[in-house]
Copies of this chain bind each other. A is one copy, B any other.
Amino acid sequence: MFPPGQKVLVAAFAMLFATAGCPAASPEPPEKPAQQAPLPARFTDAAARIIEAARKDEASYRRLQELCDRIGHRSAGTPSYDRAAAWSVEQMRAFGMTNPRLEDVPINRWTRGRESLTLLTPGGPRPIPMLGLGRSIGTPADGIQGEVVVVRDFEELERVKDTVKGKIVLYNFPMREQGEGFGGYGEAVAYRSGGAVRAAQHGAIAALVRSVTTRGMRTPHTGMMSYQDGVPRIPAAAIPIEDAMSFQRMQDRGDRVTVRLFMEAKNLPDGPSPNVLAELPGREKPEEIVVIGAHLDSWDVGCGAHDDGAGVTMTIDAVRLLKELGLTPRRTVRVVLFTNEERGIDGGRGYAELHRAEAARHVAAFETDSGGFRPKRIGVGGTDEAVAMVQRYEPLFETLGPVEIRKGGGGADISFLGKDGVPLLGLGTESGHYFDYHHSDADTVDKVDPNDYRESLAAFTLMTWVLAEMDETLPRTPPPTTPPPAPAAGVAK
């Protein structure tokens, strides 16, 4: 479905991340180790103190509110992102982190510009809410006008493929209600990611996709799409689920559905954008690095409160809480706030490339990118031995829900470190409502419940402490075989 080509690979990555973390998709989990010796008091004591402090913490949630209110969205490559990066440095400097700094990496520079979709028939003209998809090309200046062919899935497209030439294909694939994990997303996002290519292969002039969500208030949800070499590039946009359903009914009723799509979207040449880094130096093994991270960028709508603002402030405040509690761990904790995860995971790729020389000193990488919901699990990517080592600390999390520690986890941004053998971990949350807000104007800070957020802050801080303090060193992850296994991640993009 996604033959080689850089952008396509990125989309393939995104797809793989999307399905990982789903119980059904996980490889059989290793047996949990039999009850071992009790954990040393320095873990149990620290755990109790971390959980208590995080649960009563006011500053971190306030910081998330401030990030959203003062800066708004943080689309990589925009002045707003740059303000967020400077703000992050300032935040970390204020409580004495070591060497807060910006580190430029090359990123895709896509700009949305003005855009609109107008229903012409039946009963038009009337405006249809829409969001162009990330990396899509624009339309000619006077738009693209055409008849819409609605299909429910790729299979139906195949059946009607001879009728779509010169027309606009709408994929009306309904996302399944989310249970645990991100399985429903993985299935539905295929239409957003690959729909334009499939439609263009049959001569379509544009692609529309039903927003990847299960609930809507006429809310379009954007996200990345990709092209394929040798297939004409056509513009692609998301419409609300309401309008996809309406277009379907119109077609079923025999009405001719015609629209005009206008998009100024452009892909400019790649340019620099900064990751944000800072450290809490380790007390015994400062040369060993535990990366904790989240992506600082968001889509250019809403303020990315769940995706991934909550992760950003959790990451910053995990270190602040450790400092306030006087818990300096044995190893160095490095905060990395990644740029441009949304349009290509560029920050994660760039970080791994810039830090390849010290890759061997990265002993673990831990990402939070599942929103500011209650913590449910911590996924551990890597060998069964690594999983078992981390599982030994599961009892520390018991009062948090509990939080299950299980095989299979990581995150989009840190996935590139995984290729260098770094064990990857990801925080999983009670994410049943994640996609209500995801990539939409509705992903605002009021959607993050402060108490749920604090529970995840506690879990994230505690696992950070464990990774940086544990006696054992997690075994490296062996290089991927070919074809590579799905990068283990609890994170959907």
Contact = CB atoms under 8 A, between A and B. Distances in A.
A112 to B, nearest CB: 12
Interface of A: 65-66, 68-73, 80, 83, 119, 122-124, 126, 129, 216-219, 241-242, 245-246, 249-250, 253, 255, 302, 436-437, 440-442, 444-446
Contacts of A441: 129, 217-218
Contacts of A129: 441
Given A69-B253, A70-B255, A219-B217, A444 B123 contact: no
Contacts of A70: 122-123, 250, 255
Given A217-B219, A253-B69, A80 B440 contact: no
Contacts of A216: 217, 442
Contacts of A241: 446
Q: Which of A69, A70, A446 gathers the greatest number of chain B CB atoms within 10 Å?
A: A69
21 contacts: A65-B249, A66-B253, A69-B122, A70-B122, A70-B250, A70-B255, A72-B124, A73-B126, A80-B123, A129-B441, A216-B442, A217-B217, A217-B437, A217-B440, A218-B302, A218-B440, A218-B442, A218-B444, A219-B442, A242-B444, A245-B446
B126 A69 contact: no
A83 B218 contact: no
Contacts of A437: 217
Given A69-B123, A217-B440, A245-B446, 13 more contacts: A69-B246, A69-B249, A69-B255, A71-B123, A72-B124, A129-B441, A216-B442, A218-B302, A219-B219, A241-B446, A242-B442, A242-B444, A246-B446
Given A216-B217, A217-B219, A72 B126 contact: yes
Given A441-B218, A442-B217, A442-B218, A123 B249 contact: no
